[in-house]
A = this chain, B = another copy of it.
Amino acid sequence: MKKIDISVIPGDGIGKEVMPEALKVLETVAEVHGGLSFSFKHYPWSCDYYIEHNKMMPEDGLDQLKESDAVFLSAVGDPNLVPDHISLWGLLVKIRREFEQVINIRPAKQMKGIQSPLVHPNDFDLIVVRENSEGEYSEVGGRIHRGEDEVAIQNAVFTRKGVERAVEYGFQLAQNRRGHVTSATKSNGIVHSMPFWDSVFESVAEKYPDVKTASNHIDALASFFVTRPQEFDVIVASNLFGDILTDVGAAIMGSIGIAPAANININGKYPSMFEPVHGSAPDIYGKGIANPIGQIWTGKMMLDHFGEHELGNTLLQVIEEVLQDGIKTPDIGGTSSTTEVSDAIVTRLKTLK
């Protein structure tokens, strides 16, 4: 029996609604598999937790998580309760950084049963590999002067090591996909960091002569996600550019509510973290209509991570079948509730036993 220990952090808002559904699905997946079992350890860390304890997680929080094989997180943050920079940097970004989850991967593909907002989605199927530890999100900078002379400086710090491992990850991924990597750059406007990014990209590319490459400026690239997403396979991008592209990727899929993501620790020192693209959506929290598919598909990425590709693919197929049956939450044009969707997935999975 293969046993996987998972730290579960539902977080805020709809995170609390979709997480139980995803766990239910994962448990069913384990049953279907037969030789797999999950053990879930729950952590209530969230804005509510902050209000009670004045911190997003206990002092030894990371030590607690460290023992598990993976962190399964839903959504963090609710600006009505706690300022974003406290909630996000105290939990989500903190785990990404401290656990050296230096790569963020986010697939986007046209799903059967969902209407894309694009007239011609052309069956796109891409994955963004986002540098997840430095770049534009470096905490380096500050302000000088006050009043009308005030100046704020933000330092985007790009290290060769940091860029290289992200780009490298992209090339390796492409070898198991359609063999094409696109670099997101902006070296025509951002004249120090982006030419550096380009040079690292080119030097890594030389090591993969079989992989085709392209380079697009982020402005053009974001627009190509709208006009011809089918042309992309793997895209490697900086922290900020990856952030933007993956939201556009989620949009062309039909809803941010279905987009999955994984924060990968590549040196094996710490657990990786699986966390959908969507946020806590306080506006729809409590209505029972949050789309659970982002969280469930994120669970599929966790299965992939543990080598369970076949089962992962089965799960994704079952999700598509349920969508094609019209069992959908309102964000993708349906009338079903959160639990109706996950129940339908569970029911279909059980027939595979």
Contact = CB atoms under 8 A, between A and B. Distances in A.
A159 B150 contact: yes
Interface string A127-158: 00000000011011111000111111111111
B223 A152 contact: no
Nearest to A151: B159
A289 interface: no
Contacts of A196: 143, 150, 152
Contacts of A193: 141, 152-154
A23 to B, nearest CB: 27
Contacts of A226: 117-118, 226, 248, 251-252
A88 interface: yes
What size tier do the contact residues of chain A reach? 35 or more
B222 A137 contact: no
Given A118-B117, A120-B117, A192 B223 contact: no
Interface string A86-125: 0011000100000000000000000000011111100000
Interface in A156-173: 156-161
A194 B248 CA distance: 21
B247 A188 contact: no
Interface of A: 77, 84-85, 88-89, 93, 115-120, 136-137, 139-143, 147-161, 186-197, 218-220, 222-224, 226-227, 239-240, 243-244, 246-248, 250-252, 256
Nearest to A228: B117
Nearest to A279: B220
Contact of A219 (B148, B194, B247, B252): B247
From A115, A116, A248, A256, name the one whose CB has the most chain B CB atoms within 10 angstroms.
A248
A253 to B, nearest CB: 10
A183 to B, nearest CB: 14
Contacts of A161: 148-149
A190 B136 contact: yes
Contacts of A250: 223
Contacts of A85: 187-188, 191, 195
A222 B195 contact: no
Contact of A227 (B84, B195, B243, B251): B251
Nearest to A161: B148
Contact of A191 (B89, B157, B197, B223): B89
Given A191-B89, A226-B248, A155 B155 contact: yes
